[in-house]
Structure 1
C-alpha cells in the first residue's frame, strides 16, 4: 500500500505494479485478511481493472464483514460504471456502517449532484463536513447550494422528477442481502438500521464509530468528487440537415459552372459545415480530457461468473463526463438561445430560388412528376431520424448512469421530464422513429431550417409517407407526422413546385438523365392498376379488382405499389458523437400496485426502446417461486426442455477456439427434461462452490483474469455449458397455477389482454402469445435478434442470479444487419453476438444493464437485443403487441421484408388484421387507416386470385375455418396464405401452397385442390363494418383502442 500511495518510491506504473504484486502475495499467504483484499481492490480500481477490483471487494466483504471503506469503494466503482442505483445502495451501506465516513458522504453527494437532486446532495455534503477537517472545495459547494437552491428551476426540487430515491427514502431501503447474509443483526449495520427513524442522516454521530473512524483515517479512501466547479459547456453550432448537406455536395461537384450567387450559397453551406465539424472534434477532445479511461476496445470489463457474485456486475464504462452540480445549475439557469442556421447565415428567398435553379439545371429538361412529388431541400428536418448536435447532451446535462432508475412519479407530470433529458430525449427520439415533442419537447432538434419570408407560400415540412428515405424516416412515428403534414400542405401550390436534394431513387435517376438521352432510360410501360381507396365500400373494391388478376399475376404485398420494397435502413444522420453511445437505460422503480397499473407507466414503455421496471414483483406480490426450478420439477418433471450447448465466456467477449474474436455465436441443439436439467443446474452450482473453496485455500492456482482478454495469439480452452431454452408453458392444465399468477400484471404487459394484438391472432403462437421459460447457468446466451415481426416482448428474471442485457434502438438494425453480413453470419437465420468495439466504431448506441431477480424488462418494437446470464437463474418471457400505429406498421414492414428474405413471419399479419377488424374498435385514426389499408389490399388479392382460378376453370371448394385454427403458410416459400388455399396431398398429408408456388408447380393447377375459408360476402361485410370510433364518456382508450 506504501508503494501505491507514496510517489517518491518510484514512477507511477512501477509503483502500481509493485503494489499489486505485494498485495497479491499478502492474500495468498492469508486469504482471510479482508483489509488486504480491500487494498488490492483499490489498486485494481486505480489501474482500471474493473472486474478484478470488484472481485477483490467481494472477497473483502466476505472476510471482514462490516467495512465502510469497502462499501464506499464499491459505490465509486458502480458510479464509474454508470450504475447509480447500485452505487446509491453501496454508499448507504457505507454510511450506515460508519456515519462519520466523510468520503462516502461526499461521494454520495456527488452521485445526487450528477442526478440533479441538489437538496439531497446538500444533505450529504453537510454530513461529510460534520466529522472531518474543513474541506475548502466542499465548503464552496455547500455555500453555492445554500445560496442558489431557492432560485433553481423547480424541477430540480420536485420529488416527482427525482432519478434516485431521496436520502431519507434510501436510508430506509433494505440492506442488500450480500451484507445481511454476512452480518445478521449483530454488527453495526443492524444497530444503525434499527435506529434509522430517529437517527437518520444528519443526526449526531455515534462516539464509538467516530473513534473507530479516527483510527482508520490514514487508510480511508479520499472522496472522488471533483475539486473544481466546471464551467458551462460551449454551445454547439447548428448541423447541416441531410438535405442541405446533399445540396452542398451537388454544388461542389458543379462548382465550375456556378454563377456568383450560387457560389455564395455554396460558401455559406461549406462554412457552416466546417464550424460544426470543428466543434465536434473540440468537444470530443474535451470529453476525453474530462474523464480518463473512456470506452475503448481494451477497456471493456470482463464480468465474472461466480455464484457468490456481489449484486450485479458493472456495465460498460461510460464515456459520459461527470460534472458538478454547479455546472448543471449554471447551464440551466442561464438561458442560452439556440443558434439556428438561418440566424447565422440568413438565406433569403433569392437564395432559395438559386438552389431551385441549380437543381433544375442538373435535372435538365426532365422536371417530371418524380420531382414534383418530392419535398423541399429546405423543409424542416424535425421528421428526420438524425439528431443534430443540439440533441446530444453537453457535459452540463449528461447523466452518469447506464441504468438510471426513475420513480413512477417522475413521468406522471409530463412526458418530457425524463432524467438526463438531453441524452435520454435524444435517444428516445431515435427509439421512437421521430423527434416527437411528447418525448423530447425540451430538446427538439434544431437543424438547419430555411423559411422563406414574405413570399406568401408555405414550406412543406415532410415528404409523403410512401417516399423512399435514406434515413428510414418513413417508418414508425415519423409516418404519423408525415400524414398530418401532408394534409396541412396538400393545397399548397409551393409544395408541388419545389425540388428536393434528398437522396431518393427518383432524384438519382433524374440526375443521371442529365447527360443521357431520356428516351434511352424510359422505364417499360406496365399496365396500370386500378386506384383503390379505403373509403370505398367492400363491394366496390371487389368490383374494381375483378379481372386485375389476369393482368397482374402477383400483387400480394400489403404495403402498396407506391411503397418501396422494405430494406434495411441506413444509419441515422447525423451520427451520434462518441460520448453518446453508452446511453442510460430508461428505468422505473415501482413501490405499489397503483403505480404498476398507471397509464403513465404504459405510455412511458411505449415511448422507449427498452425499459427496466424494477420492484414490480414486490409491488404486485408476484409469487415468482412458482417458476423456480424446484417448483417446476415438482409440477412436471418430465416436461421437455430444448438444450443449447455453448462456450462459457464473459458477456462482452466472443472467441473461437483459436482465440479469434468473431460475431458468430456457436451452439449445438439437444433435448432433455425439466428434472434432468434441474440436476445439471444444481451440480453446476455445487461445482462452482467447490472451485471457489479450493481457490480460497490456495490449492488451485488462479490465473490473472486479464490474461483472458489477450488470448488471440494462442488457442483457448472453454468450459462448455448447457442452456435450457424454449420451455413451453402454454398448457393450462399443466401450468395453471403459474399462468394464473401472471394475471396480476398490468394489462399492457399481460400474456392475454384486449390491448394485446397477439391475443387477437386467433390461435396459439408458441413463445409469442404463450409463456416460455428459460433455465440458465452462468454464461447462457440468447444471441442477438429482433423479436418476431418486430413485436414487443416482456421478460421477468425469476432469480436467484442476474442477467446482463445489451440492446440497440430499432433504427440501427440496418447497420447491424450489414455488420453481420460483413462478418459472415446471416442476420435473420444466423446466430450472432456483436463485438462491442465494432458497434462503437460504427456509432451504434448500446444500452447495457443488469436485470436482477424480480425485474421486468420491456423490449420495445424492433429493438435489437442479446442477453447473457451472469448467475444461476430462470427467466420467463412472452411477446405483446401494443395497439399503436408504430407497432402495427413495423410489424407489416417486417412481414413484407421477410418475404423477400425467404424467412417465415410467425405472426400472420393478414389474418391478424381481419381479426382486429372484427374484435377491436379503433379511435386512433392512423392505426385505423393502416389496418384498413391491409384489409383493402387483402380483399383485392382474394378477388385477383379468384380471377386466375376462374380463368383456369378450377372449382373452388368450401372449406371453412374452425375455431382456433392456425393460419396457413406455403409449404414451399413459407409466406402466409389467406382464404384461398392451393392444396396437394403427399404421404397422407395435405400441404398448402400459395398461388405463385402452385402455378410454378403446375401452370394449370391440375395437381391442386382449391379451397376457400371465407366467402367474399363475409369479407365484404367485415370490411364495411370496420369503422373508426369516437369514444363515449366513461369509456377509456388505451393504445388507440375503444373499449
Structure 2
C-alpha cells in the first residue's frame, strides 16, 4: 500500500520526502529503489541539502539494478557535489577518475573537462595561477575536441583567456560561443566587461543590454552597467541599473533582503541626487544613451542574420526529433520578452506569427490533461496555461492566414513568441547549465579591472544542481518545478535523457506496452506492472502459516516457521522490532487537553537535598521518574562532591593537551535568537573546530578579563565599538548590531580511567540511579563504550554558549551537573509535545535530527507547547527524563559534566525502541544498538514486570527469526557461512553504507583496502547473488535459542512489586567499560537503591 502510494505521488510529480522515507522503511528491498534514490538526490541537490544528496547518489551508484541514468552520470553528480561543497581536491579526483572510463559519452566527457577547467581556473588551493591557467585552457580545448559544438566550453575558454590578459583570444572565444549558443547572457556580460576594460563604453553598453535582454535578472550585467553609467557621470541611469540588479538578486537568491553592497550604493546615489540641483543633473551632456534608449539599440545585421539562421536550424531539428526539456533549458530557445529590437520583425518589417515548439505543445497538453482530471493548477501553472493557450489560438489563426509561407514562418517564429515561456524560464533558469554560469560570471572581479562582485559561487553548476547551494526552496516551488516538464540540464541533455522521462521501470524490463494515451494512464500501468512483476516473491501461506508468531512459542517452533519464510524477500530484508505489521513510526499527537496561559510556562519540579540520606532516598528516584525534567539542588554539597576536580584549573594541570571540540557561535541576547538582519530565527549557527583543553582555558580566562574590563569601562562611560547599544548614527538611522563571536568547548571525553581516575571515582558518590556505571542502568549492559552516553563528557563554556534543542540519543535519560562558577539557563518541553516541536522545525526549515535549532518561545506559546524554564546553579544536578526536548545556554563562565542513564523501566525501553525505528525511517544512526542491548539484557536480568518482559521478549523473537531467515536465504544462494564469534566487550556493528545496526549475521566485503560490514539489503543491492561477500556468524544459533527460551517472567512478592520502580532483578552484569561494584543489591528497586 505504501509502495503504490509513493509511486503514484512520484508519477504525479507530487514528490514528498516523507513518502520516500516511508517507502524505504516499509520496503527497503524495493525493486526500483535506485530510481527513488536518484530522484531524492536531485531534490536534495535543488534544495541545497548537499551532504544528503551525496548520500543518495552514492546509494544509487551502489545499487546494481538497471537504472535510467548511467553509472557514469551518477559519478558525475557525485563529483559535482564535491565541487559545490567546496572540496576541490575530492572533486578533481572524481572527475579525473571518471575520464578514465573508455565508454564515456562525448557530451559527458566534454562536461567533465569543463568542470575540471573551472576548478583549476578558480581554486587557488590547486596551485599558483601561472601553472593553473594553461592547464585550465588545456582542459577546455579537450572539451571542445569531445564536443565541438559546446558554446559553454568556448565561453569558459574566453574567461580563462581574459584572466590571462589575452584580450584578442578572449574576444574570439566569446564570438565563437555566441555562434554556438547565442542565447547566453553570461557571454554577453563578459563581452561587455572586455569592452569596458578596453575603454569602449558604447560597445560595452550594447553587450550589457544584450545580456539583460536575455536574462532580465542578470545581476552582474545590471551591476556592471550601473558602474559603466557612473563612470560617465550618468547617476540616474546608474541608479536604475542598480535597482534592477537588486531585484535580480532578490529573485535569484530567493531572498527577502537585498545585497548589502547594492543597497548601500543605491542609497548613496539617491542621497546625491536628492542634494544636487535638477538642472545640474539633467543639464550635463550624455556620453551614453539613457537606459530606455539603450534598450532599443539594434545589434549588428550580421549578428541578427546568424541568430535567425540558428533559429531556423533549431526549429528544423525540433520538427525531426522533438526537443526535450533539457535541450530547451540548455539552448534557451525561448527567450525573455524583447531580446533584440530586430527579432520581432521579418525581413520586410512584418510581425512574424507566434509559434509553439513541440515541447510547449507537450506542456499545454499535460496542463490541460491535469485540469480535465480535476487537478487544481497552481497560480504559475495557470498563468503558463493561459499564455500557451492564447499562443496556440494565435498560431492557428496565423497559420490559416499564411498557409503558403508556413515553413518559413515556422522557421522564423517557432518557439520564439514573446513571453511564451517567460514564466517557465523564470522558474527554471537556475536549472540550466548555461544559466548556472550566470552565477559563475557574476563575480566579474575575477577579470582584471572590473569593480563589482555580486556573487560568490565559483562553480559552473550544471547537472541539475538547481538553485544556489544553500538557498532554501519551498515545497511549493519544488512542486512547481516538478510539475513543469522541462526540468533538466546539459548533462542529461547531452546524454539524451530528460528527467521527466526517467521512468520507474523500463518497458523492456516489465513488458509494458508503450502506447499509453496519457501520462496518468501510463503511471497507472507502471504501478500495476511493478506490483505484478516484482521479484519479491509473495508466496501464499497456508491457514496454519497465517497464525502469527508470538512470544509463547519456543525457539524451535519459531525456527521451524522460518524454514519457508525466507522465500518472502521482505521478511529476509526487513526486521521491525516494533512488530511485523506496525505502521511506520511518526511523531506523536499532542495531548488533546488545551492548556491555559499559565500552564504554558509551568513551574519546574525541583527538590533540595540537605544530606546524604535525602540523596539516597528511594523517593528521590521516584520523583525524577515522574517528571519530564527535574532539578536536584544542593546534591553536590550534601554528598561532599569535590567538583573542583572538574574545574578548568585542575583539568589544565592534569592534561592540557587533551582534545576538545570547539563550536564557533554568535553571541545572542539571552531572551532572543535573531539572524544578522535582526529577524527572529530558529537557526542556531554552530561551526565545528578542534583544539585542546589548554588552549580553551586561555580563551576562557581571556574572555573573563575582557568582560571585566568592558564592565569597568561602561561604568566610566566609555563605549566600545562592538557595543550592543541601540544608538543611532548622525543620519538618524539605527545602527546595525555587531555580531560578537564566541567559542564553546564541548564533548571533552573523560572516559579514560588512567587519565581521569580521580574524577570518575568522585562520581561514584552519587546515588545508584544517577551513576555512570550501575547494574540498574541499561546503558551499562551494552558492554562497550558509547562516548558521551555511558561515559562522562565535559563542557567548557563562556557566557552565551548554547546547546541547541534536541532529544537525547534513543530517548535515554541524561544527567547534567553544573561545576560553576557561573549559571546555566535551561528550557525543556515534555516528551508528549515533541511532535509539535518537530512540526515547528519543519515550518522553520530546520532539520529536527541533523540541524542546529533554537526554539522561539513565542512560537511555542502559539502552538500551545508548555516550556519549563529554570536556572541551574553550581552544584545542581538536572535530571532529563526520557524523550524530553531541551536546550541550554550559559549565563556565565562555567563547566558542566553530563552522561546518559537508562532506568530499567518499561517506559524507558518502549521509548528507546520507538526512537530506534523512527531513526531508521529518518536514515539517522542510532548510536545505542538496541538489538544488541536487548540480548544482553536477556542474559543479565530477570524480568519482573509483564509489560517490560513482553517488550523485550518480542524484540528477541523478531531478531532471532530474522537470523533464521537470513541463514536459510544465504544457504539457498550457495554462500558459505563462517562462524566468527565475538567477545563480550566487542563493539556492535553497523552497516557501512546505511548506518543500520547489523546483528549476528554480517556480510563483509573489501572496499578501499578495508573490510566493510553490510546489512543484507545493501549487500543484495551491490550483488543480488551475494558474490564477493563473506558471510560471518557471531553467535551460535543454539546459544541464541537458549537465551530466548530462558528469558521468562519472574514473580516477586506483592509488597516488593508494589513499591518497585524497576522491572528487573539483576543476575549477571556484563563486562562494562568500568567494573561494577560487586556489592550491588540483587533487586533493583526503589526500596534497595543505595551505595
> What TM-score results when the alignment is normalised by the length of structure 1?
0.49
> What TM-score results when the alignment is normalised by the length of structure 2?
0.46
Greater helix fraction, Structure 1 or Structure 2:
2
